[in-house]
Amino acid sequence: MSQVTIYTKVGCPYCAAAKKHFTDKGIAFHEVDVHNTPGAIDKVKSLSNGKNIVPLIVENGKVTIGFGGG
C-alpha cells in the first residue's frame, strides 16, 4: 500500500486537485496544512531544495512539487 503525504494550504486550487486525484483513485493520504502545522513550512523547504511551494506530495519517499493533474 502506498504511503502518501500532501503538504497543502487553505485556498490552494492545486492542493484541492491533488487531494481529489488521490481520493478518486482510492488512495489514502495524510494531509499537512503548512500554515497550521508547526514546522511544516520548514519541512516543505527541506524536501524541495528551499522552495516554498504547495502542494508538495511525498509518495513512497518520492517528492513531487506541485500538481499538474496527473
Q: In this model, does residue 69 exceed pLDDT 90?
A: no
Q: DSSP per residue over 4-68, as a string?
A: EEEEE-TT-HHHHHHHHHHHHTT---EEEETTTSTTHHHHHHHHTTT---S-EEEETTEEEES--
For residue 18, the model assigns a pLDDT of 97
pLDDT digits (tens, 9 = 90+) for 7-40: 999 999 999 999 999 999 999 999 999 999 999 9
Cα–Cα separations (whole angstroms), residue 6 to 23, 46, 67: 12, 15, 10
Is pLDDT of 1 > 60? no
Q: What is the pLDDT of residue 49?
A: 92
